[in-house]
Structure 1
Amino acid sequence: MAACALLALGALCAAAVLPVHSFTSYANDFVNPHYMLAGNFSQSTTRAQQSIISAAEQLAAKGPWSVTFKNITPPSGDLHDYMSWAPYSWPDCSKAGNTTALTQEQIWTTCPYVTRDGQFNPDARLVNDVGSFSDLADAVFYNALAWALDGQASHAASVASSIQTWFIEPKTAMNPNLNYAQMARGPDGQTGSHEGVLDLKCMAKIVSGILILWEGNAPQWTMELDTQMKNWTTQYIGWLENADIAIQEAKAANNHGTFYYNQLAALQILVGDLDGARGTLERYYKNQFLSQISANGDQPLESARTRPYHYRAYNLAAMITNARLAAYIDYDTWNLTTSAGATVQSALNFAMQQSPGHETASELYSNVAAVAAAYGDANGKYAAFLLQHDGSSYVEDPAFLWDQPLSDSGLVRVTPAASSASPAAAKPSAAGGGKSGSEVPPKDSGAASWHPVRLGFFRGFVFATVPLIHLL
């Protein structure tokens, strides 16, 4: 009977093949809107700017996205509920007792499911709300960045349309909960798990994009849309803080916990609850962070996984994002230490020394750039590492724009006629709250959080024939 299940899975693998995209998708990012709107970019970032605009155009052409577009209905019977299946969960139909081949639906409800850590089950993407949200987050992120660079109304309009469709429009809006995220399948029922909260970790990217438009006074980001989005966010924050599975995720000691605080703090910033965001980040630094990095810089909870190189880079991206969110609200955490006396820089230095083996080396590269920007690179070791391992690609990566200061290793030829001035630099940047005044004060640019996957060039990691999604 296990063979029947494998046949069913094999049949859908071909159907899951999707086109490869030539843009970089990070595990998480938070880019300071004031840095982008100031437009004071080094001429060495010209290639990165071009990459951002190219990605924005590609992603805008893919949308819009909605949870209501899926073909499988959640157990609630409401397509507006977000839904995903546990990615590492596999059916064991050996004791199902069937006499004929099981249909896919019968497998999902009849066969017990077992977890195989790090082994992605391709049929999990038959329900692809997680992939749709990933694309949505990237589309909002890149189009907002592109608008800050060239001022084209089409970029801002793409952001507004994407947000309207996913969160606001009654026919397509997502209900503000993750009750059916990373559901466990099998005879015991279809319920969401706390791991599913990870699916929406890239809310930090969306918040970055919205703040850029709001504080840059983009006409396309209207007062009405801003109010509607904040109302939705307030409801979702209530779910994140009170739902049983969300509370479980908040207690996770590994990358799951780190990403939970990325998500909640970013959303609190969006609604103007800066005190709440500070409290959220303080909980992370006073709890999970203390045990996440050993004295030698290792991340033992990530190193114990089946793909240690990946998971070290993954949690690093989340830790960097928390530090950037904290910097935005004047909470300096870059030099906070774990119980063992280690910092985020310690974790990066350790990770750089490890061999990727059969894993994808490029998963670490943008973390290297982020740490260089945050802590400095006086002896040039971080730029040298990137040049040695990534060649000229690192100055073309979008994050090179905000991972500054960072040497371009002489790869970008600057001429007197060259200019990286952005139209956004001439636009009024509302100090602190865009159209509403002093809601959010200006901050330094900090350092970014990157976990790169340049799909067109096979940077990062790809799950064979299914869409790229960053997983637990």
Structure 2
Amino acid sequence: MKKISLSFAFCLFVFSCFAQVNIKQQTTAVLKQQILAEADWAMKQSPVTITAESSSRSAGGKHDFFSEADYFWPNPANPDGPYINRDGETNPNNFVAHRKAMIRFSTIIGALASAYQLTHDEKYVKQAVVHLKAWFVNPETLMNPNLSFAQAVKGSSTGRSWGIIDTIHFMEVAQGILVMEKTKSFDKQSLTTIKKWFADYILWLNTSKNGVAEKTSKNNHSACWVMQVASFAKLCNDQSMLDSLRLRYKTVLLPNQMATDGSFPLELARTKAYGYSIFNLDAFTMICQILSTPKDDLWKFETTDGKSIQKGINYLYPFVADKSKWTLKPDVMFWDNWPVAQPFLVFGAHAYQNQNWFNMWKKLDLKPTNEEVIRNLPIRHPLIWM
């Protein structure tokens, strides 16, 4: 009886491994041509860092990232005074050139790393290193490892903790480095300098006033803090940080942000409840994808009252499969632009061998062009994460 039980368990294990590989193979088949086309574009691009453009409203210097808070507008009653908040409504006149440069950089590295993973052709690595050195090594063009001046608000703040969410687009940069770092074309001196940059940024995220405020916030911002620090700590092989983030997910994020039905109440309270619910679920999903280990699998973790990432996906999936079922008001902006090929669908499908979730993922827009969607979709090259 014991031998039969062990044999059955082994068969289940083999089936599970095969199913996960199968989802990865399906993902590769769906994305292959898109990846190679995007990599061909990336091979023709020259580096553009934050030093290419600046704003007179920035309190920082040439090498300091600067952005302005999306939802702040001039006050009609005092046009020259401090900006006022209009939640969910993006001001198109705010300075976002540095954010766009970062997103472009992320797209380039994600495409090149994906193409290298598919082909093992080191021409993609050589091109990636050119861009990486521009952002993190070259003293004339590099970015300082902080976000002290992100999401500033005219008349009231030179930089806010909320702005730290902007560097979620460095996640695919960090993951791309992990994919390419052991190749001959990635020189060790540059790699050491780049990893030192990320280690310095991790330190700033954990010790600065804005970093600590973002870490301890209560909604998607704290989830995104954990998500990106996890990505950077994995690049730096910072095991103590990774351990602390797993604990934070299990004891703070999941218990405090998710309701027992799998929803995120703080996101549902926003004027863009649908988009923010998707965004936060993507963040929670990527936390599980980055931090899970064989000994500490966050995909399998469940709180004492039954909260889990699987419950979160089960809650939101019906509204992604059929948005007409959404029971709240439509989002005040970009309602028609969601959903796209969300990370929670493809990584959830991979983790739980759920073909329905994968089929929905591949039906949705795999390469969105709307700037607001891209801003809230840091994971656009899923193969490098599998």
Which residue of structure 1 lines up, in the alignment, with residue 78 of structure 2?
95
Among 122, 137, 140, the alignment partner of 1:168 is 137
SS in 2 for 1:182: strand
1:208 pairs with 2:114: no
Residues 41 and 118 of structure 1, relative CA distance in 2, 3 Å threshold: closer
The 5 Å alignment of 1:51-66 reads 51-66=34-49
SS in 1 for 2:93: helix
Cα distance between partner residues in 2 of 1:218 and 1:263: 24
Which runs of 5 or more structure 2 residues have no equivalent in the other structure? Answer: 1-20, 325-329, 379-386
Q: Normalization by structure 2: what TM-score?
A: 0.82
Among 143, 146, 161, the alignment partner of 2:115 is 146
Which residue of structure 2 lines up, in the alignment, with residue 226 of structure 1?
191
Among 289, 296, 316, the alignment partner of 2:254 is 289
The one-letter code matched in structure 2 to 1:293 is: M
Q: Is the 8 A contact 1:184 1:192 kept in 2?
A: yes
SS in 1 for 2:48: coil
The 5 Å alignment of 1:279-428 reads 279-327=244-292, 330-338=295-303, 340-354=305-319, 356=323, 359=335, 360-363=337-340, 365-377=342-354, 380-383=355-358, 385-386=360-361, 390=363, 397=366
Q: Which has the higher helix share?
A: 2
Cα distance between partner residues in 2 of 1:352 and 1:86: 30
Cα distance between partner residues in 2 of 1:195 and 1:471: 17
Which runs of 5 or more structure 1 residues have no equivalent in the other structure? Answer: 1-37, 97-109, 398-452, 456-460
1:112 pairs with 2:82: yes
1:469 pairs with 2:383: no
Among 92, 97, 120, the alignment partner of 1:128 is 97
Report the CA distance between 1:285 and its aligned residue: 2.2
Cα distance between partner residues in 1 of 2:119 and 2:317: 35
The one-letter code matched in structure 2 to 1:370 is: F
Report the CA distance between 1:218 and its aligned residue: 1.9
The one-letter code matched in structure 1 to 2:347 is: A
CA deviations on 1:307-352 (whole Å, 9 max, x unpaired) are 2221111011111111011125853111222464121121112112
Cα distance between partner residues in 2 of 1:89 and 1:339: 40
CA deviations on 1:85-131 (whole Å, 9 max, x unpaired) are 001110114235xxxxxxxxxxxxx322111111110112x341111
Cα distance between partner residues in 1 of 2:34 and 2:295: 30
Aligned pairs, number: 346
Cα distance between partner residues in 2 of 1:468 and 1:44: 20
The one-letter code matched in structure 1 to 2:84 is: V
Q: Is the 8 A contact 2:341 2:361 kept in 1?
A: no
Q: Is the 8 A contact 2:254 2:308 kept in 1?
A: no
Q: Is the 8 A contact 1:73 1:79 kept in 2?
A: no
Cα distance between partner residues in 1 of 2:250 and 2:170: 20
Report the CA distance between 1:353 and its aligned residue: 2.4
SS in 2 for 1:210: helix
Q: Is the 8 A contact 1:67 1:129 kept in 2?
A: yes
Residues 67 and 45 of structure 1, relative CA distance in 2, 3 Å threshold: closer
CA-based RMSD: 2.7
Cα distance between partner residues in 1 of 2:377 and 2:29: 31
Cα distance between partner residues in 2 of 1:94 and 1:471: 35
The one-letter code matched in structure 2 to 1:255 is: N
Report the CA distance between 1:56 and its aligned residue: 2.1
The one-letter code matched in structure 1 to 2:183 is: A
Among 56, 78, 83, the alignment partner of 2:66 is 83
Q: Is the 8 A contact 1:323 1:334 kept in 2?
A: yes
CA deviations on 1:217-257 (whole Å, 9 max, x unpaired) are 32221101111112212221111111001100001121111
1:259 pairs with 2:224: yes
Q: Is the 8 A contact 1:265 1:278 kept in 2?
A: no
1:454 pairs with 2:368: yes
Cα distance between partner residues in 2 of 1:68 and 1:185: 21
Cα distance between partner residues in 2 of 1:345 and 1:54: 34
Which residue of structure 1 lines up, in the alignment, with residue 205 of structure 2?
240
Report the CA distance between 1:46 and its aligned residue: 2.6
Q: Is the 8 A contact 2:73 2:84 kept in 1?
A: yes
Report the CA distance between 1:62 and its aligned residue: 3.9
Which residue of structure 2 lines up, in the alignment, with residue 106 of structure 1?
none
Report the CA distance between 1:179 and its aligned residue: 0.6
Cα distance between partner residues in 2 of 1:306 and 1:289: 22
The one-letter code matched in structure 1 to 2:300 is: N
Residues 273 and 365 of structure 1, relative CA distance in 2, 3 Å threshold: closer
Which residue of structure 1 lines up, in the alignment, with residue 126 of structure 2?
157
Residues 64 and 255 of structure 1, relative CA distance in 2, 3 Å threshold: same
Report the CA distance between 1:60 and its aligned residue: 4.0
Q: Normalization by structure 1: what TM-score?
A: 0.68
Identity of aligned residues (%): 25
The one-letter code matched in structure 2 to 1:53 is: L
Q: Is the 8 A contact 2:59 2:158 kept in 1?
A: no
SS in 2 for 1:202: helix
Residues 132 and 343 of structure 1, relative CA distance in 2, 3 Å threshold: same
Cα distance between partner residues in 2 of 1:132 and 1:274: 30
Q: Is the 8 A contact 1:268 1:277 kept in 2?
A: yes
Higher relative contact order (CA 8 A, sep 6+): 1
Which residue of structure 2 lines up, in the alignment, with residue 405 of structure 1?
none
The one-letter code matched in structure 2 to 1:454 is: P
Moved more, 65-74 or 137-146: 65-74
Q: Is the 8 A contact 1:194 1:249 kept in 2?
A: yes
Q: Is the 8 A contact 1:309 1:351 kept in 2?
A: no
Report the CA distance between 1:462 and its aligned residue: 4.3
